[in-house]
Each structure stands twice: as C-alpha cells, then as structure tokens.
Amino acid sequence: MYNEYKYFMEYIKTEIDGLWLIEPKVLSDSRGYFMESYKKAEFDQTIGQVDFIQENESESTFGVFRGLHFQAGEAAQAKLVKVIRGKVWDIAVDIRKNSVTFGKYVAVELSEENKRQFFISRGFAHGFLVLSETAIFAYKTDNGYYPAHERIINCLDPDLAIELPLDLSLISMSEKDRQGKRLIEIETI
C-alpha cells in the first residue's frame, strides 16, 4: 500500500547535507485542490526519523525578516516549514562547527502557489523574509521552545553574505533580531 502513494511528494536534497526541499503533487480541478502535505512513513524513509512534537504559525507583513534563530545544545530543533498564505524567502545557515559547509546557506522561495516545504535538520539557524503583502508561515518542530537556549545570528552578518531579494531599506526586523550576533561570536552546534 505504501508504494501506491510514493509519488505524491518529491524530496529534493539541497547542496547542503541536512536540508531538503519537498514539493507536493497538487491535484487541482474546478473545485480547488488536494495534496498530501506530510506523510510520516514516507518522510522517515526518505529523510530519516524525526518526531515532530509541536506546530507553530505566524503572520507577518511585507518586508519583515524573522531570524536567524536557533536553539543551542539539547534544545536544538529540526523544522519542517511552509507558507500557507503569501510568499517568503526562506533561509537556513549551517552552524555545525565540524561541517564542511559551516557558515554556508540555502535560500528557497516558499509560497502558497508553489506549496513547497523546506526541511531544516538540527544544526542550522533559520529565518525568513516576507515578499508578499502578508504571509502566514507554519512549521513543525521536534523540540519545544526554551528561551534560555535561543540564539540569534544577524542576517546582515558580512561573513554570511546572505543575498536578500529586497533592498535593505524595505526590511523590518524586531529589536531582538537586529541585535543578533555575528556567526563568529556565537556558540555553535
């Protein structure tokens, strides 16, 4: 029975180990659409076992950048992220100190139109920039939120050289995110 549904999602490895782009097969007609957005058995067989324990949702307006966030130590989180409404530029930065891709990033566009999801394993900082008037962003995590373990890297860290698709004058960040440190200043995983 499992193989019968195997092709409802395409799992695409990115150039950095631990990051996956997931593209669902969307069945559309005049009534609307249907798609599978998560199937544990298929996910576990392709990416590996991840036990998601929480799902979160946020709404943000155009130009808002949230991140780059991660939790250190045993509080680290894997995330499966997607956009329900709108469009974002989603970014994951490798912060695994022994990784050959340490400090490198992958950025992908997630939108209500493309319905892509982005899997981010533990060992990455994560953030997103809203490209539409508003965006509703949802994500599953495999660990809870522990404020004492939260760390923030400033997305404008010159060592990361993250290319953003908006002019800096249009980008809005919380004070906490604006005060984020440079990658070389933080405790990495």
Q: Which of 5, 69, 105, 149 is catalytic?
A: 69
Bond before 68 cis per omega within 30 degrees? yes
Q: Which of 139, 145, 146, 149 is catalytic?
A: 139
**Tokens 């019968």 sit at which residue?**
4
Phi and psi dihedrals of 128, rounded to 5? -150, 150
Q: Is 100 left (phi over 0), alpha (psi -120 to 50) or beta?
A: alpha
Q: Tokens representing 125?
A: 């900082």
5 is catalytic: no
Name residue 47's amino acid. Answer: I
139 is catalytic: yes
Q: How many angstroms separate the CA atoms of 127 and 149, rounded?
A: 17
Total count of residues recorded for the chain: 189
Task: Provide the annotated active-site residues.
Answer: 69, 139
